[in-house]
Amino acid sequence: MSAATPISLSPNDPVIDVRNLHTRFGLNVVHDDISLSVHPGEIFALVGGSGCGKSTLLRTILLLQQPASGSIRVFGREVLGLNDEQALPMRRRWGVMFERGALFSALTVTENVSMVLREHTALSADLIAEVAALKIALTGLPPDAGNKYPSELSGGMRKRAALARAIALDPELLFLDEPTAGLDPLSASGIDELVQSLRDALGLTIMLVTHDLDLLWRVADRVAVLGEGHILGMGTMTELSQMDHPIIREYFYGPRGRAASVQAGEASKTWKKK
């Protein structure tokens, strides 16, 4: 079976399956025998202190760097060892929003989204324009945002524009690297709701890296806490908040963690009344 041949997953098969992953830079061990699975339709988050290897793990799954050893299966296919040509069909099935958005500054929002469609589809120019407008609208941007350049947008609008580009090809899997980083609380809250609504509306599986405890409490189905080269704990936010590991307790029982937990509880009550 070739690397391009799609594999049909059953509802119980993981979309992402990482096994016994080891990553090091010189003598510095970043990941020491890490294993995790991301299930269809869930929002799965990676958290931990700065330098714990969250973004490195994300980049490894995205085939942007190679581990020392281990296995990473995406959509049932082993991805480690694939060259760019072999990985292309896989990459068309996922979308990525990097921390800083990675929008092309010389292109408008519409042009940023359209570029992906021109490169990977045979759609006509008119259809590309229609699809780009639809993706931009799905992320909650106003109609006139498509004609603006990234420098003309607020931080929250740039995040939404980057999301519009990430979903341009109707991905099954979405990767988000620090989706609320650098945003004020109101803009960050809007991204929280957008992530959840996109998952529900498009049937996405989402894997995200974040420091944002509010985002975790509001949208994450399961969370893996990285530290000391290992996964220190994995589960729902409620399950993790009850674990006794010192790093996990510091993360969830510090002032910010307690405040985020309370706010999430209040938000949940509000949403249930709607």
Report pLDDT digits (tens) over 124-138: 999 999 999 999 999
Q: Which of 223, 271, 218, 273 is nearest to 248 (CA)?
A: 223
Q: How far apart are CA 233 and CA 153, in angstroms?
A: 38
Q: Average pLDDT, stretch 255-265?
A: 50
13-17, 227-231, 253-257: segment of lowest average pLDDT = 253-257
Cα 120 to its chain centre, rounded Å, is 21
Percent with pLDDT over 70 in the chain:
87
Q: What phi, psi does 22 have (nearest 5°)?
A: -125, 130
Contact 43, 195 (CB under 8 A): yes
Which one has a higher pLDDT value, 54 or 258? 54
pLDDT of residue 11: 67
Q: How far apart are CA 188 and CA 72, in angstroms?
A: 31
Q: Can you give the pTM of this predicted structure?
A: 0.87
Q: Where in the chain is the domain with CATH 3.40.50.300?
A: 14-93+173-232
- Helix, strand, coil percentages (3-state) for the chain, rounded to 5, are 45, 20, 35
Which one has a higher pLDDT value, 10 or 162? 162
User: For the domain with range 14-93+173-232, which CATH number is right: 3.40.50.300, 3.40.50.2300, 2.60.40.10, 3.40.630.40?
Assistant: 3.40.50.300
The tens digit of pLDDT for each residue in 31-85 reads 999 999 999 999 999 998 888 889 999 999 999 999 999 999 999 999 999 998 9
